Chain A
Amino acid sequence: MTMKCACGKKAVYHRRYSGQRFCATCFNRYFERKVTDTIWKYKMMRRGERIAAAISGGKDSTVLLHVLHSIAGERGIELQAITVDEGIAGYKDPGLESAKRNCKELGVPLRTVSFEEEIGYSLDRISNKGQHKPCTYCGVFRRRLLETTARELGADALATGHNLDDEAQAILMNYLTGDMERLHRLNGSTGSQTMIKRVKPLSRLPEKEVMLYALLNKLHFSHAQCPYAKTGYRTPVRDFLNNMESEHPGIKFSIVKGWERITKQHLPEEGALGACTICGQATARNICRACELTEEIKIKMSETN
């Protein structure tokens, strides 16, 4: 049984869906190349653009920041970082610390925004009162804060650390709930000028490879688990996909590729989006989801005060 990299050194990783084995050096080269290929293939960035990277201090966004930083200079890209403090006790502090530390080491300017200041309440308080699951508020509000902050910073695109597993899970979850609108929105091209372009440079790399890159390069990141993570049904979907992938290498790619073909054939109609009557953001409804949830929280909070 050969366990060597093509270069002759001892392998650290066997990429089963392609049959390749990599030593640490060759893995790093492959990984960085794959990220840059994804960026140019999907036209995520262009020379001279300013890119805002959303970072949480976790492994995915830490890897994103490092790889973007390593290509920014030669590609003429100006990099900025944004981190959102949702206000989750016991979870977010190590993430914020690691976000700060990485940005400082790389010399990337960092802007921190918090739910407490922007929404009025921390996620912990919101989830005590709200009727939805914590992840619903968290996801909608974080997305909103990232988009508005990125625009304030004059960014051309907002980059997030979503990996292949995140994408495959999200696609499957939207199928399971029959949410075709969200299925379309996943690719980030919302077809509207009022929203910022969203890009996912790690979206073609399996989570395991992202973790491997973080470990091999000894990156400093937070291992903390969000206490609310188990409340959604992402966990069973993730377990299902990982069990399938273990038996059938490559199915995560198939799911994402199939979805790409579907969205290409059925592009959402431009102009289907109007403006939210409260905040003016593009939305398919009268009031956007972020404003709807903000209103709900305001009412819930005033009821008990």
Chain B
Amino acid sequence: MKVNVNNREIHLAGREATVEELLKQLNVARETVIVVVNREISPEETELADGDEVRLLPVVSGG
């Protein structure tokens, strides 16, 4: 399955995957991002589908 993450194509093994599994694969700690799936802010347990558009918004700001 392929999803688009911050304008990058990411391959996920298998037919099913959640946002949480995607974050694991990308080595991103869930505490550090807010996840937007197809333009909707979504919890990490959200199931992804082929072709989904995912945006990871960093939580941390400097200063």
Contacts and interface: CB of A to CB of B under 8 A. Distances in A.
Decide whether A and B assemble into one complex.
Answer: yes
Interface of A: 1, 3, 11-14, 21, 24, 56, 58-60, 91, 95, 206-208, 211-212, 215-216, 222-226, 229, 238-239, 242-243, 245-246
State the majority secondary structure of interface residues on B: loop
A225 B43 contact: no
Interface of B: 29-32, 34, 40-47, 57, 59-63
21 contacts: A3-B45, A12-B40, A13-B43, A14-B45, A24-B41, A58-B63, A59-B61, A91-B62, A207-B31, A207-B59, A208-B31, A208-B32, A208-B34, A211-B57, A215-B34, A215-B57, A224-B61, A229-B62, A243-B29, A246-B29, A246-B31
A58 B31 contact: no
A3 B45 CA distance: 8
B41 A12 contact: yes
A9 to B, nearest CB: 12
A225 B44 CA distance: 26
A243 B32 CA distance: 9
A21 B31 CA distance: 16
A215 B45 contact: no
Contacts of B34: 208, 211-212, 215
Given A13-B41, A208-B34, A224-B61, 10 more contacts: A1-B45, A3-B43, A14-B44, A58-B63, A207-B59, A215-B57, A224-B63, A225-B61, A226-B63, A245-B31
Contact of B46 (A3, A206, A211, A223): A3
B30 to A, nearest CB: 5
A246 B30 contact: yes
Contacts of A245: 29, 31
